[in-house]
Amino acid sequence: MVDNVDTPEEQPVLTPTPIYRCKDPACKAWVREEYLPADQKCPMCKGPMSRSMKHLPALTKGKKKRAGKGKG
C-alpha cells in the first residue's frame, strides 16, 4: 500500500499582515497596507477600502525600509 500524500516542502512562513480590502463584495481586490495608494481607493474599482488582516508570506526581498516617523 502506498500513501500518496504530497508532503509540503519549505512552506513559507505566513505572518498576519495588515491589508486593505475592497468594501465591494463583488470586487475581490486587496492590497498590502504598505502598497495602499495615498488616496486609499481600491485600485480596481476606485471604491472605498477597509482594513483587514491576511496571512501572507513575509516579504524578504529588497531592502528593509524603516518607516520615517516623527518630526523631520
Give contact residues for Zn ion (rule: CB under 5 A).
Answer: 22, 24, 27, 29, 42, 44-45, 47
Smallest distance from Zn ion to CB 57, Å? 23
* Cβ count within 10 A of residue 33: 12
Closest distance to Zn ion from the beta carbon of 9 (Å): 35
End-to-end, the C-alpha distance of the chain in Å comes to 67
- Closer of 45 and 56 to Zn ion (Cβ): 45
Amino acid at 38: A
Q: 28 or 65: whose CB is closer to Zn ion?
A: 28
Among all chains, which residue has been given the C-alpha cell 505566513?
14
